[in-house]
Amino acid sequence: MKKKRPTILVTGSKGQVGMELQTLANQFPDFDFIFVDIEELDITDPAAVKAFFAENQVNYCINCAAYTAVDKAETETNLAWKVNTVGPENLALACANTKALILQLSTDYVYHTQVTKPYIETDFTNPQGTYARTKLNGDEVVLRNHPGGAMVVRTSWVYSSFGNNFVKTMLRLGAEKRSCP
Ligand SMILES: NC(=O)c1ccc[n+]([C@@H]2O[C@H](COP(=O)([O-])OP(=O)(O)OC[C@H]3O[C@@H](n4cnc5c(N)ncnc54)[C@H](OP(=O)(O)O)[C@@H]3O)[C@@H](O)[C@H]2O)c1
């Protein structure tokens, strides 16, 4: 039987990063991709995640699913915790069980320190607010539940042609507003 190509599962695939990965996928013909968002796979549902991994070949998981509304997270604490901490834990456990590797996307908000140099992995974390705390917890549960098979990428602002972001806001304001005298 012909061996299937390694398969990359991308969760949260309708978000900014997920959509960009969808546009890039055809540049990687040696891999199959499965793109899912909450309608196809709710990462906060442990039974659904387990069943998904039982039914599909997954060799790598890129977790782009997240609760990213930083301000709203203060009033939707439970939802933020479920999506940013429980969801990654479910994925990490499923990956560990099936020997898949997981890449967890995270944020520099976990640091919140006044440094004038680029952060390194071992820097002190000091999350302020629900979003940052739930993301840090997500990083920790992923690394703890899949030692040796997990990687966490803590990025800063994400710019993309999809969704709302800082660059788009600046372009819009630049077009709408008069320039400074
Ligand atoms: N955006 C930034 O500037 C920024 C900066 C630093 C780090 N990051 C990190 O980078 C990663 C990707 O960010 P992004 O901007 O691409 O996020 P995003 O645009 O908010 O996309 C997240 C996606 O996850 C989906 N989702 C929410 N709950 C889910 C669930 N229970 N199960 C499955 N999918 C779910 C969302 O659906 P709904 O839209 O329907 O909720 C959305 O499609 C995140 O881990 C984020 O923390 C982002």
Average pLDDT value for residue range 154-178: 90
pLDDT at residue 181 in the model:
56
If you take atom 41 of ligand 1, which residue's CA is the nearest one? 67
Ligand 1 mean position, distance from CA 12 (Å): 6
pLDDT at residue 116 in the model:
87
pLDDT at residue 24 in the model:
97
The rounded distance, in Å, linking the Cα atoms of 134 and 22 is: 26
- Work out which ligand 1 atom sits closest to the CA atom of 43: 32
Q: Is the pLDDT of residue 180 over 90?
A: no
89 falls within a domain: yes
Ligand 1 mean position, distance from CA 2 (Å): 35
Residue 64 neighbours by CB distance under 10 Å? 23
pLDDT at residue 178 in the model:
83
17 falls within a domain: yes
1 falls within a domain: no
The rounded distance, in Å, linking the Cα atoms of 110 and 66 is: 14
2 falls within a domain: no
16 falls within a domain: yes
Query: Is there an atom of ligand 1 within 6 Å of 135 CB?
Result: yes
Q: Phi/psi of residue 149, each to 5°?
A: -125, 15
CATH number at residue 90: 3.40.50.720
pLDDT at residue 115 in the model:
82
Structure token digits, residue 175: 């077009």
Query: Is there an atom of ligand 1 within 6 Å of 68 CB?
Result: yes
The per-residue pLDDT for range 94-138, each reduced to its tens digit, is: 999 999 999 999 999 999 888 888 899 899 999 999 999 999 999
37 falls within a domain: yes
What domain range includes position 149? 7-176
Task: Report strand pairing: 101-107 vs 150-155.
Answer: parallel
Q: Structural domain tally of the chain? A: 1
- Indicate the top mutation candidate among 21, 39, 49, 68 to test ligand 1's pocket, ranked by most ligand atoms within 8 A of CB: 68
Residues with a catalytic annotation lie at 131
